[in-house]
Each structure stands twice: as structure tokens, then as C-alpha cells.
A = this chain, B = another copy of it.
Amino acid sequence: MNIGVFGSGMVGQALSARLAGLGHAVMVGTRDVGRLLARTEPDGYGNPSFADWHAEHPDIQVGTFAEAAAHGALLVNATNGGASLEALGLAGAVNLSGKVLVDIANPLDFSQGMPPSLFVANTDSLAEQIQRAFPDVKVVKTLNTLTAALMVEPERLAGGDHTVFLSGNDAGAKSEVAALLRSFGWRDILDLGDITSARGTEMLLPLWLRAWGALGTGLFNVRVVR
């Protein structure tokens, strides 16, 4: 399947590599392709540059947000939450129209330092903001409660015996995304309901960040025991 992945950071890279490895034709969408590929220094966390990563994944195309949106039959929002609405605006409503958008972004606000708070929460969510801005896009929130490595390879932890959540208004879109998640190795996929239930998974982030601090690793997840 042709898939457009918005965002060139660690989450976008993890998703793109996994999807390409599964045989999908992936295009990463970014604001400025030339600038992205010209940057060769590691990021602030010591991760290799996108250019270095891309040299190891030559099968993955790189384009503007609009080009990636036009390319994809299915789209993934892996941009920073604070930039998501702008990135999707650059992608263009006409290129997004009618498509499934897997929204992985979290509305993290780092402006007051660590740990971040959320710039939208409680009575609204980033997923709902996106759904309202692009009413004919089928937004499905998922994978936003995990570190990137586990999103695409759940078996790396406890043989995959943990939970991923799903929120969205369109049942068909959720089925399609659930099938994609199963192809990553996910077995416990909990459908929470419509897109307003994304408030719940986005609001898990503050707990996730504290648990990360307490455990000293991001390689953990919750399992919903029932």
C-alpha cells in the first residue's frame, strides 16, 4: 500500500522503516526536503541525522507534506503535536480528503520545561482538533502511548503481551488500522470508542513520563489486565 508518513523524527523514522519492511511504498513528508537532507549532525539526543538514517533506507521516498499526502492511500501523523495542525494544513485538505489518518502525535507542551504538560487536555484533544479541522479525514488515534521502538515491534517487550489503544469515529478506518497494528505484531488492541476517547490516551502521557523517570527506560507499556 502507498503510505505517507508526516514527520521525520524518531517516530516517523520508526514507522516508515517498519512499514517499508512490510512491503509498503512509504513517502516521508516534511516541511522542507532540501533542509532536512542537508542536515547531517546528530540531533540534541545524539540520534543520527535524518540524512544518515535515510542513507540506510533508500527505498523510502522523501517529499513535502503535500507530496506525501498525495502519495499515501493511508496517512500517518508522526509530527510533533504542536506542529501537527500546521503540517496537515501544508499537506492540504484536498490531498487528505477521505483518507485514513493514523494520528500518533501528542499535545506535549515543553514551554515550561520538563516534564511537559499538555497544550490541550481534559475537554478536548489534539485528535479531535485534527478531526474538526479536516472533517472528511478518518482520524484514528493510536500508538501515542508508547516509545517508538515498541510501537512498531511490540514483541520487543514481554513477547508482545501488552496493550495498544484505538480511538476514532469510523469503524472501517479502525478495522484497517487494527489490521496494520496486527501486522506490526500487536495482539491486544483495545478500541476505546469515538475520537473523543483520544483524550484518555493523550492524558496518559503525564503518567507515562513519570513512569519513564521512575523506571529509567522508555521500554515499558501498560497491559490492560481484565
Q: Is the CB of B206 within 8 A of A199?
A: yes
Complex interface bits, A104-121 against B, C-beta within 8 A gives 1, otherwise 0: 000000001000011001
Partner of A117 from B112, B122, B197, B201 at Cβ < 8 Å: B122
Chain B residues contacting A123 (CB-CB under 8 Å) are 112, 117
Cβ of A121 to closest chain B Cβ, rounded Å = 5
Q: Is the CB of A207 within 8 A of B214?
A: no
What CA separation (Å) do A122 and B209 show in the bound complex?
13
The segment out of A17-25, A55-63, A85-93, A217-225 that lies at the interface is A217-225
Q: Is the CB of A207 within 8 A of B204?
A: yes
Is A38 positioned at the interface, with any CB of B under 8 Å from its CB? no
Is A153 positioned at the interface, with any CB of B under 8 Å from its CB? no
Partner of A203 from B197, B207, B220 at Cβ < 8 Å: B207
Q: Which residues from 169 to 226 on chain A have a C-beta closer than 8 Å to any C-beta of chain B?
A: 190-193, 197, 199-201, 203-204, 206-211, 213-215, 217, 219-226
| Chain B, Cβ-Cβ closest to A123 | B117
Chain B residues contacting A158 (CB-CB under 8 Å) are 225
What CA separation (Å) do A45 and B209 show in the bound complex?
36
